[in-house]
Amino acid sequence: MLMSIVDTIKQRDLLGGNTRLIGGAVIGLLLFIDLARRLTSGDLTAALLAGYIWNGLTFGLIVGLAGVGLSLTYDLLEFANFAHGDYITASAFFGWGTAYLFAGAGEFDPGSLFFLGVGGTLYPGDVGISVASAPAAIVAGLIVAAVAGAVLAVLLDRLVYSSIRQAGTISLLIASIGVAFTLRYLTVYVFTQQSFGLTVSAWVYRIPLPGGKLNISAPSLLLVSVSLLTMLGVHLMLTRTKLGKAMRAMGANRDLARISGIPSERVITTTWLIGGALAGLAGFMIALLQGTITYQIGWTLLLLVFAGVIMGGIGSVYGAILGGVLIGLITRVSLVWIPASFTEAMGFGIMVLILLTRPQGLFGGEIS
């Protein structure tokens, strides 16, 4: 009797999952048909659609890059770090302060340059840098942002998380929320609460397409190149090095990994370093892509990072990358049908749809 009830429940769950999957496929097919109709009727040009796809890809790579760091720390420590977004923000400010120090050295006051003119008469627009006009400054800022994110992540682990690691995931999660608010308002205190522009107009390559041109800017090209190279580096680290194998072993079974002689604390520290560095890179590049910076830039991005990580499978590095790219494409391509103010809601809606049909996410939460 009991077995028959269990079998009935399993069959019902399977049927419900298949129904949701079929429903999602039907919705996707209808959207594709409507997209083709708009292209053939002239309501939508190929150039505009290509622009949405390119913008979605560049934005999605940033979401994926930030998601990799979040996913790595979750897989080893099993808690969602809500301070990750503020690692992104703080690192972005340090990185851009360094970029302006390089670009305006010898011409402006160093303090005003590093603090982006806060409290003075110098503002980023007065220096005016871009990828094309000051590549060395941009690269220096990118490196410092990554280093700042790594140092910040390890420092906060030592000061906060390591002492309460045995208290459980809920305690860690609540602590991370406190760390997030502390970092956010320290950033406001040290820098500014205002949002302001960072770069001047950059070089743009225009590709002729039916109905117009696809504009590919120098910042977006740099962003795509750095993101892909970084993700390739993370892949090689996870699959070809002893550190990567140790991280995967700890993600699979921490107790067994310790018994096997894997130095767990060293692996955890290195994971924080990598995750923080990726957050720093993402912070610098989202500010570069948008051309503006604000103390809430990381918090705003964090919600989409969580969506991408959950969509790809919590704990999966490759799922975080794919989930981030999907979020980017969905939020940009959905502009074909809905106003810009609703695009993020569309991304979360697709995430829910995927979880209804595949609760473990696209990659099932495997770190490798």
Distance of alpha carbon 298 from alpha carbon 300, whole angstroms: 5
DSSP per residue, 319-334: HHHHHHHHHHHHHHHG
pTM of the predicted protein model: 0.85
Helix, strand, or coil here: 205? strand
Fold classified for 45-357: ABC transporter involved in vitamin B12 uptake, BtuC (1.10.3470)
Q: Which two structure tokens, joined as six digits, stand for 259?
A: 């018994």
Residue 281 banded pLDDT, cuts 50, 70, 90: very high
Residue-wise pLDDT for 33-64, tens only, equals 877 887 788 777 888 888 889 999 999 999 99
The neighbouring-strand residues paired with 102 are none
Q: Which of 65-69, 154-158, 227-231, 349-353 has the lowest mean pLDDT?
A: 349-353
Helices 317-333 and 218-240 cross at an angle (nearest 10°) of 160
Query: Which pLDDT tens digit goes with each residue over 181-206?
Result: 999 999 888 887 777 777 766 677 88
CA-wise closest residue to 57 among 202, 198, 231: 231
Q: Are the CB atoms for 322 and 227 separated by under 8 Å? A: no
